[in-house]
Homo-oligomer: A and B are copies of this chain.
Amino acid sequence: MPITEFELIERFFKRKPTRTREIILGIGDDAAVVRAPAGYDTVIAIDMLNAGIHFPPDTAAADIGYKALAVNLSDIAAMGAIPAWFTLALSLPDADEAWLAPFSEGMFALAAQHQVDLIGGDTTRGPLSVTIQIGGWVKPDQYLPRAGAQVGDRIYVSGTLGDAAAGLALLPQQRKDSAALHLVTRLLRPTPRVALGQKLVTIANACIDISDGLTADLGHILQASAVGARIQQSAIPISSALHEAVTNPLEILRYALAGGDDYELCFTVPAAKVPQLENLRNQLDCSITQIGEITQSPGLQWVSVNGDVTRLAPQGFQHF
């Protein structure tokens, strides 16, 4: 006899909430009831991962569970908000317990790190697809928009770029060297920069998470802010693993600029606040690198290592 939706929720998805003051009514009713802390607004994001589009169909269930939550936490990070709760809409070919157990473990392991509670969801039969909607808290007017970049702002990115795209390219090769394993882990288990985002709230003018590739996502900031940018090739942070695993420098550059799935933050900081940001470095759990600056001239100017200036078109992950 197949497992019912009710049993499935009880077995795999019902956990004691950690945010007991904020989660008034959790899983198991027609809807959940949550209460933002006094004086906070609520931040809402939703992201969907489809098998065969966002991850190879044979990806380990634990990694899918982890990543579905990670990409949503990354949206919360990009807003500078405090993640609080999430809901899960899960479409599955069948209610396979051997899949559900590691899926929920992967998801809840990351949830515990960030103290976010699963408060509701919907499960149904269908092609494998995971949609998570996440909620978080932010003080009024203290979120990080895309539209706030000002001419003269310094442009930063967190971590290193291109790792996930290289990981995706390396995946079929099943290489066991540590560089390749690192890149594949960056693809399957991206680190949402939640702590960094919260620290940027009083420092950065604009922020986005890099899900579709640096040029595409920085392009969103530029378009929303009606500004341009100049980026220094020599400043783009590339991991030693990427240098080690991929020898062709053009390929590395393509991964770093147009590869998606890095889930690093790209943000702009007014020159006056750069010292404040630099002072933070020691308190951060990730690197931050200045890669260029915001210009009045629209579009994206690319300064190559030998000083040539070209214009880049935004080319990132196309959803259709």
Where the two chains meet, the residues of A that have a C-beta atom closer than 8 Å to any C-beta of B are 2-5, 8, 24-25, 28-36, 41-48, 50, 52-54, 75-76, 78-79, 81, 85, 87-89, 91-92, 94-95, 119-127, 129, 131, 133-136, 138, 140, 143, 145-147, 207-209, 224, 318-320
Given known pairs A46-B133, A91-B48, A320-B94, the reply for A30 and B122 (CB within 8 Å) is no
Q: Which residues of the other chain, B, contact A45 by a CB distance below 8 angstroms?
A: 30-32, 87, 120
B42 near A319 (CB under 8 angstroms)?
Answer: no
Contact B42 A33, beta carbon cutoff 8 Å = yes
Residues in B with CB closer than 8 Å to A147 are: 29
Nearest B residue (CB) for A265: B30
Contact A320-B2, Cβ < 8 Å, known A42-B34, A91-B48 = yes
Assess whether A320 is in contact with B3, with CB atoms less than 8 Å apart. yes
Kindly state the separation between the CA atoms of A153 and B32 in the bound complex, as whole angstroms: 24
Our pick among B94, B122, B320 for the contact of A46 (Cβ within 8 Å) is B122
With contacts A3-B320, A44-B120 known, is A30 near B140, CB below 8 A? no
Give min CB distance, A78 to chain B, whole Å.
Answer: 4
Sampled A-B contacts (7; CB under 8 Å): A31-B44, A31-B134, A31-B143, A32-B43, A33-B42, A47-B122, A124-B319
Q: Among the listed B34, B76, B123, B133, which residue makes an inter-chain contact with A133, where contact means beta carbons less than 8 Å apart?
A: B133
C-alpha spacing A42/B137, complex, angstroms: 12
Q: Chain B residues near A53 (CB, 8 Å)?
A: 124-126
